[in-house]
Amino acid sequence: MADCTHRAPRLKAAARNPSRSQACGRSCNCYISVCSEITSASGSTLEEIREAIAYGVVKMNIDTDLQWAFWDGIKEYYRKNEGYLQGQIGNPDGDDKPNKKFYDPRAWMRKGEESFKARLKQVFADLNNIGTLA
């Protein structure tokens, strides 16, 4: 049978030994030797990701990881500045001190963006995709 275009639901399914055909698990009952996409790699180890790449996986969905990275940056900003984010006026520096620069969305969103960017750089490294378009 021809290779199926269905995608493996997890990394381990995508990285199976390509010398053995595997049922794709869908109702068409076709067989595949290797899936070309990791549709849910969250929680996968670097070793598992590299093994999948070695077997020919060419796409990995990273949306969930990037969403978490963005949130994590915002969460850490809040933890660091919690005393300044309880009201417009009044913080650990004084009851009459303003907090505008702390609750300004540009401040905490910037931390989300920085965390997102750092995770993206890590994903590029994990996927051996640094300097490949030069």
pLDDT for position 34: 52
Q: Which of 61, 91, 109 is the last residue of a domain?
A: 61
- pLDDT single digits (tens) 43-53: 788 888 888 88
Among 116, 122, 127, 121, smallest CA distance to 48 is for 127
Asked if pLDDT for residue 71 goes beyond 50, the answer is yes
Do residues 100 and 70 share a domain?
yes
Answer yes or no: is 49 within a domain: yes
Q: Please report the pLDDT score of residue 72 as a whole number.
A: 97
pLDDT tens-place string over residues 27-45: 444 444 555 666 666 778 8
- CA nearest neighbour of 117 among 80, 72, 82: 72
Give the dihedral sign, CA 52/53/56/59: positive
Number of H helices, E strands in the chain: 5, 6
What average pLDDT does this structure show over 102-116? 97
User: Would residue 134 count as lying in a domain?
Assistant: no
- Which residues make beta-bridge pairs with 91? 94
User: Whole domain around residue 14: which residue ranges?
Assistant: 1-61
- pTM for the predicted model, two decimal places: 0.68
Q: Do 36 and 6 fall into the same domain? A: yes
Which of 44, 61, 78 is at the close of a domain? 61
Between the alpha carbon of residue 1 and those of residues 30, 32, 50, 58, 110, the distances in Å are 7, 9, 28, 22, 51
Claim to verify: residue 23 and residue 5 sit in the same structural domain: yes
pLDDT above 70: residue 6: no
Number of structural domains found in the chain: 2
